[in-house]
């Protein structure tokens, strides 16, 4: 029997298990065929009234039945005149096949969207939604330009795979916190493996209560035993540290000219999983490269004071900061309104960009992103060469440095800087980390007036190391009059592995003692530094467990077992004017 005939037969018999949810909507279970003959399990909601409706699709690796229970959006949308599909991705829960993270999501996304677009209850227009993995699969499907895709809302996602797995060239060991609690349970169940819990919440609790640091610090990375059976893709990622065509299976950065559907993009200043980098770059590319005028005109961006968690109206505080009653939003209502505009042609108007300005704690609508009125303003590093030991010595100012002594510190990869908020990125007082001897601190004088910083912060440093390789990291804080040093962006951004200082496509090891110019990017914020406050940056050479600590040996990092302590130096002089460039918004 041909695959085409199998596909047609499956198409005709796939609706089953109908249950009356209420007098307004009906819930059904569905089997959706893929081009290679496997079927994906799904839950469908539709209005009880007969007819054809626009469809909305969520694809998840986390169990569609749990999203069905925990999320309200599917029922809200069905009651609002949409057919809604919650689909387990290939190899997960009710779906057939083998799961390999992101590997099959382009073609499966295309097949699911096209099947839905031609299904009995759909009017031919399909929109997609979801956060994190559920968001990234939308970009991957969009890159294939399925004809029935009319709108997408990839939330909290990157657009390029290499930067996702190797941000700044350093591998994210925090992937363990995805595999262990979220992926392994179902894989164990499929294999009839009773060595661990099958229930994802139980697996997550077991993992979170374990001694995880021994696994984050495990060497060599390539021999990590935890993922040998159920996370084999990790070892393939380890084999490909450079940016190359190998990563195309999970990248869309070169595919925007194919995308015809508009996108609703959202992220948070503290999203340590992806940060606002993916949403920002995705928005810019949609506005300049998308294939249709509709895609460019109806794409929307929201950036708020959140981390990677779901956005709700009641969520107004994170970590040690409260951002006021307006910080949370009714994301379901915003998203449905946007879908109504794009898929139903409603007359609702929306601002293309909405950002939350922290410090001022207010939302502001904009017509563009990044903001063209932002003035790149340089703050140069200064000290007498003792910023590692005396945390009050390092300063920032608009004055170009003269002949100042450089600052040095010793970086020991066996004792890396540890970010206590790595699992739930949030604003918190950084003074504990700033006391470390391998952290340099540079602070402005108390501000004489309010300064708004909105956009991407760029750091240009002149550095050297006694090793063949090392890492550099920068963070930015708002220092309050009482001394609190509150980070105003996620601590995963602003990172660079020195061997990739000239790009991620090839490695260039350092010559010990040679001074190199480097640029650290991907650090975004919108914060009003108020009069009397101070602006502070911290520079160090690790950020565990966001990234694997560099062994500093210059060898292949995935297979290295030896760790070498190096002395790293930051120069700030007339010849080597290290600086941070802030996008300052005029407010006069």
Read off the pLDDT of residues 110-148 as tens digits, 9 standing for 90 and up.
999 999 999 999 999 999 999 999 999 999 999 999 999
Tell me which of 10 and 120 has the higher pLDDT.
120
Q: What is residue 426's predicted lDDT score, i.e. its pLDDT?
A: 87
Any idea what DSSP says for residue 429?
Answer: B
DSSP-assigned letters across all residues of 147-191: TTEEEEEEES--S-HHHHHSGGG---GGGHHHIIIIIHHHHHHHT
Q: Are 64 and 94 in contact (CB under 8 A)?
A: yes
Mapping DSSP to helix (H, G, I), strand (E, B) and coil, where does residue 289 land?
A: helix
Query: At 296, phi and psi to the nearest 5?
Result: -70, -40
Mapping DSSP to helix (H, G, I), strand (E, B) and coil, where does residue 215 land?
A: helix
Q: Write down the CATH number for the domain with range 375-585.
A: 2.60.120.260
Mean pLDDT of the chain: 92
Token output for 285 = 């590319």
Question: Which of 465, 532, 517, 521 is closest to 489 using CA atoms?
Answer: 521
Mean pLDDT of 499-504: 96
pLDDT in tens, 533-565: 999 999 999 998 889 999 999 999 999 999 999
89 contacts: CB under 8 Å, gap ≥ 6:
40, 59, 60, 61, 95, 99, 104, 105, 108, 137
User: Domain segments of the chain: what residues?
Assistant: 1-155, 172-240, 375-585
Strand ranges (DSSP E) for 466-530?
A: 471-479, 485-487, 495-497, 516-529
Token output for 336 = 């449905």
Q: Which of 5-19, 46-60, 296-310, 377-391 has the lowest mean pLDDT?
A: 5-19
Number of neighbouring beta carbons within 10 Å of residue 138: 29
pLDDT in tens, 319-347: 889 999 899 999 999 999 999 999 999 97
User: The whole model's pTM is what?
Assistant: 0.93
Biggest CA–CA distance in the chain, Å, is 79
Question: What class, spelled out in words, does domain 1-155 have in CATH?
Answer: alpha beta
Number of neighbouring beta carbons within 10 Å of residue 587: 10
Give the model's confidence band at 10: pLDDT under 50 very low, under 70 low, under 90 confident, else very high.
very low
Token output for 491 = 């601590």
Spatial separation of the C-alpha atoms in residues 376 and 87, rounded to whole Å: 45
Helix 105-117 and helix 133-142: axis angle, to 10°? 80
**Residue ranges in 399-499 assigned as alpha helix (H):** 431-434
Burial track 148-180 (b if 16+ CB lie within 10 A, e otherwise): bbbbbbbbbbbbbbbbbbbbbbbbbbbbbbbbb
Spatial separation of the C-alpha atoms in residues 570 and 498, rounded to whole Å: 13
Q: What is residue 13's predicted lDDT score, i.e. its pLDDT?
A: 37
Instruction: Compute CA distances 148 → 46, 245, 287, whole Å.
Output: 18, 28, 21
Question: Which of 37, 2, 53 is closest to 108 using CA atoms?
Answer: 37
Strand 53-60 relative to strand 451-465: parallel, antiparallel, unpaired? unpaired
Mean pLDDT of 205-224: 88
Any idea what DSSP says for residue 296?
Answer: H
Mean pLDDT of 172-189: 90
Burial track 454-487 (b if 16+ CB lie within 10 A, e otherwise): bbbbbbebbbbbbbbbbbbbbbbbbbeeeebbbb
Spatial separation of the C-alpha atoms in residues 103 and 296, rounded to whole Å: 28
Q: What is residue 210's predicted lDDT score, i.e. its pLDDT?
A: 84
pLDDT in tens, 388-417: 888 889 999 999 999 899 999 999 999 999
């Amino acid at each position: 029997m041909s695959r085409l005939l199998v596909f047609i037969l499956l198409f005709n018999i796939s609706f089953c298990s109908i249950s009356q949810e209420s007098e307004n909507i009906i819930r059904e279970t569905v089997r959706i065929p893929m081009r290679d003959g496997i079927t994906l399990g799904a839950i469908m909601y539709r209005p009880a009234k007969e007819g054809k409706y626009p469809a909305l699709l969520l694809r998840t690796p986390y169990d569609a039945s749990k999203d069905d229970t925990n999320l309200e959006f599917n029922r809200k949308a069905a009651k609002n005149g949409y057919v809604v599909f919650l689909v387990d991705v290939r190899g997960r829960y009710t779906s057939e096949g083998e799961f390999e993270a992101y590997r099959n999501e382009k073609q499966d996304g295309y097949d699911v969207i096209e099947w839905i677009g031609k299904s009995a209850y759909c009017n031919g227009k399909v929109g997609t939604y979801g956060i994190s993995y559920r968001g990234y699969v939308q970009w991957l499907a969009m890159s294939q330009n399925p004809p029935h895709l009319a709108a997408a809302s990839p939330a909290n996602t990157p657009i390029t795979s290499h930067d996702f797995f190797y941000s700044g060239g350093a591998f994210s060991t925090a992937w363990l916190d995805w595999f262990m609690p979220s992926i392994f349970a179902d894989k164990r169940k499929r294999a009839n493996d009773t060595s661990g819990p099958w229930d994802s919440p139980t697996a997550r609790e077991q993992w979170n209560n374990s001694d995880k640091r021994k696994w984050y610090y495990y060497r060599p990375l390539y021999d990590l035993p935890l993922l040998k059976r159920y996370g084999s893709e990790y070892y393939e990622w380890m084999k490909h540290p450079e940016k190359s065509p190998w990563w195309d299976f999970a990248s869309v950065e070169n595919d925007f000219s194919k995308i015809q559907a508009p996108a609703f993009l959202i992220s948070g200043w503290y999203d340590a999983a992806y940060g606002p980098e993916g949403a920002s770059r995705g928005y810019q590319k949609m506005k300049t490269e998308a294939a249709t005028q509709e895609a460019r005109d109806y794409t929307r961006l929201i950036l708020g004071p959140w981390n990677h968690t779901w956005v709700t109206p009641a969520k107004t505080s994170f970590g040690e900061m409260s951002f006021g009653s307006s910080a949370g939003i009714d994301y379901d209502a915003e998203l449905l309104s946007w879908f109504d505009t794009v898929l139903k042609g409603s007359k609702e108007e929306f601002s293309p960009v909405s950002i939350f300005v922290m410090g001022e704690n207010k939302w502001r609508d904009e017509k563009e992103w990044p903001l063209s009125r932002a003035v790149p303003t340089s703050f140069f590093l200064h000290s007498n060469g003792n910023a590692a030991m005396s945390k009050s010595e390092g300063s920032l100012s608009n004055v170009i440095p003269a002949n100042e002594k450089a600052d040095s510190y010793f970086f020991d990869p066996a004792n890396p800087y540890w970010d206590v908020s790595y699992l739930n990125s949030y604003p918190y007082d950084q003074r504990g980390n700033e006391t470390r001897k391998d952290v340099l601190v540079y602070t402005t004088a108390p501000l004489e007036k309010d300064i708004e910083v909105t956009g991407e912060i760029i750091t240009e440093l002149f550095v050297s190391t006694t090793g063949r390789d090392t890492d550099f990291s920068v963070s930015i804080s708002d220092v309050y009059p009482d001394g609190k040093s509150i980070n105003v962006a996620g601590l995963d951004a602003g990172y660079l592995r020195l061997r990739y200082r000239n790009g991620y496509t090839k490695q260039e090891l350092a010559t010990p003692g040679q001074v190199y110019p480097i640029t650290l990017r991907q650090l975004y914020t919108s914060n009003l530094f108020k009069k009397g406050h101070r602006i502070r940056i911290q520079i160090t050479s690790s950020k565990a467990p966001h990234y694997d600590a560099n062994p500093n040996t210059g060898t292949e990092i995935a297979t290295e077992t030896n760790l070498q302590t190096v002395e790293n130096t930051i120069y700030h002089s007339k010849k080597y004017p290290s600086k941070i460039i802030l996008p300052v918004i005029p407010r006069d």
